[in-house]
A and B are shown apart, each in its own frame.
Chain A
Amino acid sequence: MDSGFTKTAVMLGLLMFLGAGPVPWGCGPAGAAQAEEAAPEEIGDEFLDDDLDFLDEEEQQDIRRVADPLAPWNRLMYHFNDKFYFWLLKPVAQGYKAVTPTPVRIGVKNFFHNLIYPIRLANCLAQGKMGAAGTETERFLTNTFVGILGFGDPARDRLNMLPHDEDLGQTLAYYGVGNGFYIVWPILGPSTLRDSVGFVGDRFLNPVTYVDPTALSIGVSAYDTVNDTSLRIGDYESLKEAAVEPYNALRNAYIQYRQTKVAQ
């Protein structure tokens, strides 16, 4: 369940699951464009300006659009995930937070991050990022041995070595594979066809996958998720608060976030 994808899909999902409220796709039909009289005496020049010279610059960024043929399913899942967050995940994370000191929760987060070093290494190598692969290896050794099984992050704190969060979705993108289409998974949250394939592939390099029995493996992943959530309570709420059209806001946020990751 847990992998590099967790750092993206799940974390981002928890971060940004948007939702609740009326289903926005039953919106009314378009009215005719209104011809309205302007009251020029109160309106500054900036509002009379039709010049949109920034469009070229902005259009380039609009490549980040994604096909959404599964929209009805996706919207359903997004409402489900919203409820899942508010009714279950958030209360659990809050309870956990109340009894667990922050340094412990950060240590746990570091531990799980250190554990999926194989995913980052393989994907750095697959993308020919030798420098990054080297840094990841140094980070892994330093944090495992000096940082006590990865609970500490002395590589970052003392040696200023920053992590390279590469995953299979990014590797596929590196070789020119597009997003495919957008898909929202229950509990796991927003993804695309490409990133879902990446998620499954990365699982093979995640030690948690091999924990036996399966129930325990799922439990460990769930704990990782709760721990991460406890450090980010409020983020998802903020995003939801800011959105006019939450489903679209989340979809676009996911695509932009991944695009940035791919570009790094």
Chain B
Amino acid sequence: MKLTLTGILAVMVLAAVAGAQEVSAGPMEALKGPVNTVLQILQDPQYDPPEQRQLQRDRIWDVTRGIFDFTEMAKRSLALNWRAFTPRQRKEFTELFSELTAHSYLEQIKGTYTGLAVEFLGEEMLSGDKAMVKTKVRREEVETPVDYRMLQEGGRWLVYDVNIEGVSLVQNYRTQFREILAKETPEQLIQKLKDKLQEQKEELAEAAS
């Protein structure tokens, strides 16, 4: 009887542990898959021709979207100014901002070299639902530390800031937006983001032609 009870308990504990692992893998595990997929897409020779660049960008965008919490990033980069935006402006801003950040993050880890490798160094809990995952991006033997700040939402770990060589992307955008919004309206900032994205699209198109 005693044995059976212990057995049941043991099974229950094991099940609980297994269950917990299934529901939420750690932040680093959650990040590894998407980052590796992006690396594969980046180094896939099928995207080498310039006319394939847009397709490559779109595919990476699909992966990135699943692991970044862009609303949180947009909010944090606007900080107090978030309140000066109407809900419609917030939505539009978030959409544009996510496109811009995804693109810049990509440019950062891509550079112009092949032989790109990302090494996952470890994770560190910042609070109950926040963590930092440390990585190192290596290309041509030049190493760049890239840290991801992640938060847990509904059991999923999502990135809300990227820190490249000690420089936080969100903080960097915040100083830019703060200065713009000190002189201009939310609508004007949204227009600036549109112009910037248009500029990038034209550059891509130019490279393809």
Interface residues of A, Cβ cutoff 8 Å to B: 27-40, 42-44, 46-48, 50, 52, 54-55, 58, 61-62, 64-65, 102, 106, 231-235, 237-239, 241-245, 248-249, 251-253, 256-257, 259-261
CB of B183 within 8 A of CB of A27, answer yes
Given the contacts A48-B87, A244-B192, A65 and B175 also touching, CB distance less than 8 Å:
yes
Residue of A nearest to B105 (CB): A242
CB of A47 within 8 A of CB of B185, answer no
CB of A252 within 8 A of CB of B113, answer no
Residue of A nearest to B101 (CB): A242
CB of A244 within 8 A of CB of B193, answer yes
B162 CB to nearest A CB, Å:
11
- How many residues on the B side are at the interface (Cβ–Cβ under 8 A)? 54
CB of B80 within 8 A of CB of A242, answer no
B172 interface residue (CB < 8 Å to A): yes
CB of B171 within 8 A of CB of A46, answer no
CB of B140 within 8 A of CB of A252, answer no
B22 interface residue (CB < 8 Å to A): no
CB of B187 within 8 A of CB of A34, answer yes
CB of B171 within 8 A of CB of A39, answer no
CB of B91 within 8 A of CB of A64, answer no
**24 interchain pairs, CB-CB under 8 A:** A29-B183, A31-B188, A33-B84, A34-B86, A34-B185, A43-B87, A47-B71, A47-B91, A52-B79, A52-B82, A102-B141, A231-B141, A232-B142, A233-B112, A235-B111, A238-B108, A243-B176, A244-B176, A245-B180, A249-B172, A249-B173, A253-B167, A253-B172, A256-B167
CA distance in complex: A243, B142 (Å): 23
Please indicate the chain B residues that have their CB under 8 angstroms from the CB of A259 in the complex.
166
CB of A30 within 8 A of CB of B200, answer no
Given the contacts A38-B87, A47-B71, A256-B171, A52 and B80 also touching, CB distance less than 8 Å:
yes
A103 CB to nearest B CB, Å:
8
Overall SS of chain B's interface: helix
B100 interface residue (CB < 8 Å to A): yes
Told that A241-B103, A241-B200 touch, could you supply 11 new A-B pairs with CB distance under 8 A? Answer: A28-B188, A30-B185, A32-B185, A34-B187, A46-B71, A50-B83, A239-B108, A244-B180, A248-B179, A256-B166, A260-B165
Select A38's contact among B80, B88, B112, B175, beta carbons within 8 Å: B88
CB of A47 within 8 A of CB of B90, answer yes
Residue of A nearest to B104 (CB): A242
CB of B107 within 8 A of CB of A238, answer yes
CA distance in complex: A260, B167 (Å): 8
CA distance in complex: A242, B173 (Å): 9
Residue of B nearest to A102 (CB): B140
B34 interface residue (CB < 8 Å to A): no
CB of A58 within 8 A of CB of B79, answer yes
Select A28's contact among B82, B184, B200, beta carbons within 8 Å: B184
Select B185's contact among A33, A58, A102, A261, beta carbons within 8 Å: A33
Please indicate the chain A residues that have their CB under 8 angstroms from the CB of B103 in the complex.
241-242
B100-128 residues with Cβ-Cβ distance < 8 A to A are 100-101, 103-104, 107-108, 110-113
Please indicate the chain A residues that have their CB under 8 angstroms from the CB of B167 in the complex.
252-253, 256-257, 260
A233 CB to nearest B CB, Å:
6
B158 CB to nearest A CB, Å:
12
CA distance in complex: A39, B176 (Å): 28
Please indicate the chain B residues that have their CB under 8 angstroms from the CB of A43 in the complex.
87-88, 90-91
Q: Which of A40, A47, A235 has the most CB of B within 10 A?
A: A47
CB of A252 within 8 A of CB of B100, answer no
B154-175 residues with Cβ-Cβ distance < 8 A to A are 165-168, 170-175
CA distance in complex: A256, B183 (Å): 24
CB of B192 within 8 A of CB of A38, answer no
CB of A38 within 8 A of CB of B86, answer yes
B198 interface residue (CB < 8 Å to A): no
CB of B100 within 8 A of CB of A36, answer no
Please indicate the chain A residues that have their CB under 8 angstroms from the CB of B180 in the complex.
27, 244-245
Residue of B nearest to A29 (CB): B183
Given the contacts A47-B71, A256-B166, A238 and B171 also touching, CB distance less than 8 Å:
no
CB of B111 within 8 A of CB of A238, answer yes
Select A234's contact among B112, B141, B175, B187, beta carbons within 8 Å: B112
Select B111's contact among A29, A234, A249, A261, beta carbons within 8 Å: A234
Residue of A nearest to B83 (CB): A50
